[in-house]
């Protein structure tokens, strides 16, 4: 028994399913790597772990840079106390993890509100001597000051135990570098009255000889960047609204402007003293707008989404956005946030599987969407205080990927346009060649000879009959000559050409041929001299001359969005599979196919022949 090994081709749908599975796997892998990196941050950067309010710097070399060490971990916490400024010498309320909020925490005194002021204390042991250090954090949305061994080290803003009297700047207002001597250091951070629940990001330890901070420069840069991106969003909205015919260009520009605005908005929102939930709301609006314009762009370019799916996921996203903001600072907030993230990620499947375009397009769309969703995930985690490090390097990397995706799409579209133009030129040449062959096929020497013989016979019957015949023959020759400058003509004109040709043939048949017309729709065009070869073929090869009731019928009708033309006869018929079509039929079929129509021949011996032409109305 012979065994045939056949390689099964992967269908487009199977390839799309595999692609979605790979994208989801990579997305999950990125998130896992992110949190593994986050959990092992101290080991990776060889910085001490902060455990129970203490950190041992034995063997840790502090490099001279503005962010030498991230002080994330458990600090001693004092709620509504400034332990240095007010000279408080009592016990702490307990330990609190930074980054994290004190909101809803319970230190035996009931659940804490998000309002209030506080102190944080951390003991550093075995810090290398003779280096200038400062402890700070840029863009906090509260004022704070840092003390090292009781000496003021860093101040940002003007502190008050009343929120309305607090002045927040978000950057350094006073710096006094502390020179280490190898002894134990006690770091105390006092924060002003706030309504955000404390530190959402971990403070930094910096080592330098100058003691300067780049905060003011960063603030100026962010102001400029935010202004530029906001202007870009406004310009993109205008171009997207008024230049509808260029939305393929304006949509990516609009999305990139929103994306950049999304990235730069967070730190600036902290500077203008918005609470963290309020900052998250505004940033989420920017993210949602980016997401919406991206989905609209995908929809316009081939990805079809079910309306019920869009409405359902949008409702889920709105609900869990409200829950995440409402429960901000609680263990439930991350859960609600990841449900929101999952609702967004669910769009990858319909974006890819609903796309019927070329493979490269849905691959790039899927990649672009997956990378954007990972950016939003990182930013949401950062906003929730789940990350101890900055995600700027991730955003930079992903922005490069996004720009590369749009570049690939743009190059692909240019190449596709060029291929379309080349193919159109080739089709035009091919159509011209086929038409010339068809025209040459019309002027057959034996047809001209037989027609002249028939005309001569008509003159014997009478001068008027001869003049009528010679006029029909002249029309036929003029039609062939004039048709060289035309591609398509109205169907009515083609019918008149067929009737004129038929009358010339009927002269030779002594009027024994019958042509029936059943024209129900005529408002369309056909290739010039395209129906005459079908009638000619029926006259010469169907055997209707020998039948007493032989006939040829030409009919037309409109059916759905197509025009159906049929040329049929009740002649002898033939076996379609066993008989090779003539040059005239092949040329006619090719001309219709080049114009987007379809031609089919149906015939059986002794059952006649029917040629059906299906022309799309567009």
For the segment 288-334, what is each residue's pLDDT rounded down to a tens digit? Answer: 777 777 777 777 776 777 888 888 888 888 888 788 777 776 777 78
Q: With respect to residue 327, please indicate whether it lies within any of the assigned structural domains.
A: yes
Whether residues 466 and 390 share a domain: the answer is no
Residues 332 and 272: beta-carbon distance below 8 Å: no
Percent pLDDT > 90 in the chain is 16
User: What's the pLDDT score for residue 9?
Assistant: 54
Work out the pLDDT band at 91, boundaries 50, 70, 90.
very high
Q: With respect to residue 439, please indicate whether it lies within any of the assigned structural domains.
A: no
Instruction: List Cβ<8 Å contacts ≥24 apart for 308-317.
Output: 309/350, 313/343, 313/344, 313/346, 313/347, 316/340, 316/343, 317/288, 317/343, 317/344
d(CA 19, CA 6) in angstroms, rounded, equals: 24
Question: For residue 577, is pLDDT > 70?
Answer: yes
Work out the pLDDT band at 614, boundaries 50, 70, 90.
very high
Q: With respect to residue 509, please indicate whether it lies within any of the assigned structural domains.
A: yes
Question: For residue 188, is pLDDT > 70?
Answer: yes
User: What's the pLDDT score for residue 211?
Assistant: 41
Token output for 304: 């079809």
Q: With respect to residue 610, please indicate whether it lies within any of the assigned structural domains.
A: yes
Question: For residue 557, is pLDDT > 90?
Answer: yes
Q: With respect to residue 283, please indicate whether it lies within any of the assigned structural domains.
A: yes
d(CA 206, CA 197) in angstroms, rounded, equals: 25
- Classify the C-alpha dihedral 172-84-52-62 as positive or negative: positive
Which of 2-6, 226-230, 293-297 has the least mean pLDDT? Answer: 2-6
Which of 287-291, 348-352, 433-437, 529-533 has the least mean pLDDT? Answer: 433-437
Whether residues 466 and 378 share a domain: the answer is no
Number of domains forming the structure of the chain: 3
3-state class (DSSP) for residue 55: strand
Which of 337-346, 428-437, 457-466 has the least mean pLDDT? Answer: 428-437
Domain containing residue 512: 459-616
Q: With respect to residue 446, please indicate whether it lies within any of the assigned structural domains.
A: no
Q: What is the domain-level CATH number for residue 176?
A: 2.60.120.260
Work out the pLDDT band at 78, boundaries 50, 70, 90.
very high
Which of 207-211, 297-301, 309-313, 550-554 has the least mean pLDDT? Answer: 207-211
Whether residues 279 and 310 share a domain: the answer is yes
3-state class (DSSP) for residue 487: coil
Question: For residue 41, is pLDDT > 50?
Answer: yes
Whether residues 331 and 476 share a domain: the answer is no
Which of 181-190, 301-310, 355-364, 379-388 has the least mean pLDDT? Answer: 379-388
For 264-284, the pLDDT digits (tens) are 555 555 555 555 556 666 667
Whether residues 497 and 592 share a domain: the answer is yes
Label the pairing between strands 116-125 and 174-175: unpaired
User: What's the pLDDT score for residue 224?
Assistant: 59
Whether residues 378 and 502 share a domain: the answer is no
Whether residues 184 and 129 share a domain: the answer is yes
CA angle 304, 310, 315 (to 5 degrees): 175
C-alpha pair distances (Å), 349 with each of 32, 369, 373, 375? 21, 11, 13, 19
Q: With respect to residue 407, please indicate whether it lies within any of the assigned structural domains.
A: yes
Work out the pLDDT band at 84, boundaries 50, 70, 90.
very high
DSSP secondary structure, 116-167, as one string? EEEEEEEEEESPPSS-EEEEE-TT-SS-EEEEETTEEEEEESB--SSGGG-B
d(CA 140, CA 3) in angstroms, rounded, equals: 73
Residue where a domain stops, chosen among 392, 417, 442: 417
Question: For residue 221, is pLDDT > 70?
Answer: no
Q: What is the domain-level CATH number for residue 535?
A: 3.30.565.10
Whether residues 288 and 163 share a domain: the answer is no
Work out the pLDDT band at 531, boundaries 50, 70, 90.
confident
Whether residues 326 and 234 share a domain: the answer is yes
User: Mean pLDDT over residues 13-28, rounded?
Assistant: 87
User: Mean pLDDT over residues 11-16, rounded?
Assistant: 82
Residue where a domain stops, chosen among 213, 239, 256: 213
Percent pLDDT > 70 in the chain is 75
Whether residues 312 and 391 share a domain: the answer is yes
Work out the pLDDT band at 189, boundaries 50, 70, 90.
very high
Whether residues 176 and 271 share a domain: the answer is no
The residue with greater pLDDT, 265 or 408, is 408
Question: For residue 145, is pLDDT > 90?
Answer: yes
Whether residues 383 and 238 share a domain: the answer is yes
Helical segments of 243-358, H only = 247-271, 276-300, 307-326, 332-345, 348-353
Quick one: the chain helix, strand, coil %, rounded to 5?
A: 50, 20, 30
Q: With respect to residue 186, please indicate whether it lies within any of the assigned structural domains.
A: yes
Token output for 478: 């003029």
The residue with greater pLDDT, 502 or 430, is 502
| pTM of the predicted structure, to 2 decimals | 0.57
């Amino acid at each position: 028994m012979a065994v045939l090994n056949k390689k099964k081709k992967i269908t487009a749908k199977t390839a799309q399913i595999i692609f979605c599975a790979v994208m989801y796997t990579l997305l999950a892998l990125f998130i896992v790597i992110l949190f593994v990196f986050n959990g092992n941050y101290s080991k990776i950067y060889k910085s001490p772990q902060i455990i129970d309010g203490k950190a041992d710097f034995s063997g840790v070399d502090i490099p001279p840079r503005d962010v030498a060490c991230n002080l994330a971990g458990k600090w001693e916490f004092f709620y509504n106390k400034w332990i240095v400024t007010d000279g408080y010498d009592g016990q702490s309320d307990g330990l609190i993890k930074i980054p994290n909020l004190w909101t809803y925490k319970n230190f035996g005194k009931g659940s804490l509100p998000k309002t209030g002021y506080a102190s944080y204390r951390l003991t550093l042991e075995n810090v290398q001597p003779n280096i200038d250090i400062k402890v700070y954090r840029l863009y906090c949305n509260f004022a704070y000051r840092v003390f090292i061994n009781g000496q003021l080290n860093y101040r940002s803003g003007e502190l008050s135990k009343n929120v309305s009297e607090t002045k927040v700047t978000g950057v350094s207002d006073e710096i006094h570098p502390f020179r280490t001597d190898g002894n134990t250091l006690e770091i105390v951070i006092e924060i002003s009255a706030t309504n955000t629940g404390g530190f959402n990001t971990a403070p930094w330890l910096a080592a330098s000889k100058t003691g300067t901070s780049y905060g003011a420069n960063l603030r100026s840069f962010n102001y400029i960047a935010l202004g530029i991106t906001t202007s870009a969003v406004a310009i993109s909205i205008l171009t997207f609204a008024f230049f509808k015919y260029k939305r393929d260009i304006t949509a990516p520009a609009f999305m990139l402007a929103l994306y950049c605005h999304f990235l730069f908005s967070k730190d600036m929102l902290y500077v203008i003293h918005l609470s963290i939930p309020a900052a998250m709301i505004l940033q989420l609006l920017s993210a949602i707008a980016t997401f919406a314009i991206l989905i609209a762009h995908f929809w316009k370019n081939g990805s079809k989404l079910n309306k019920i799916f869009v409405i359902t996921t949008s409702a889920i996203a709105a609900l869990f956005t409200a829950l995440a903001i409402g429960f901000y600072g609680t263990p439930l907030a991350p859960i609600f946030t990841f449900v929101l993230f999952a609702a967004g990620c669910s769009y990858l499947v319909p974006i890819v599987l609903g796309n019927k375009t070329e493979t490269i397009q849905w691959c790039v769309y899927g990649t672009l969407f997956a990378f954007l969703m990972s950016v939003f995930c990182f930013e949401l985690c950062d906003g929730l205080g789940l990350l101890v490090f900055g995600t700027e390097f991730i955003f930079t990397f992903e922005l490069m990927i996004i720009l590369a995706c749009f570049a690939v799409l743009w190059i692909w579209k240019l190449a596709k346009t060029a291929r379309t133009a080349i193919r159109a030129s080739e089709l035009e040449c091919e159509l011209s060649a086929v038409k010339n062959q068809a025209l040459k096929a019309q002027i057959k020497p034996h047809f001209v000879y037989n027609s002249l013989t028939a005309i001569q016979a008509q003159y014997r019957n009478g001068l008027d009959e001869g003049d009528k015949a010679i006029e029909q023959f002249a029309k036929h020759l003029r039609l062939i000559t004039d048709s060289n400058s035309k591609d398509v003509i109205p169907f009515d004109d083609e019918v008149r050409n067929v009737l004129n040709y038929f009358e010339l043939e009927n002269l030779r048949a002594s009027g024994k041929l019958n042509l029936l017309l059943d024209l129900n729709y005529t408002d369309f065009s056909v290739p010039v001299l395209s129906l005459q070869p079908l009638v000619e073929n029926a006259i010469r090869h169907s055997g209707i001359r020998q039948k007493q009731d032989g006939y040829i019928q030409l009919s037309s009708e409109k059916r759905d969005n197509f025009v159906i033309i049929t040329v049929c006869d009740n002649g002898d018929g033939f076996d379609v599979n066993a008989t090779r079509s003539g040059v005239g039929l092949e040329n006619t079929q090719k001309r219709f196919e080049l114009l987007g129509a379809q031609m089919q021949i149906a015939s059986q011996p002794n059952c006649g022949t029917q040629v059906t032409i299906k022309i799309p109305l567009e």
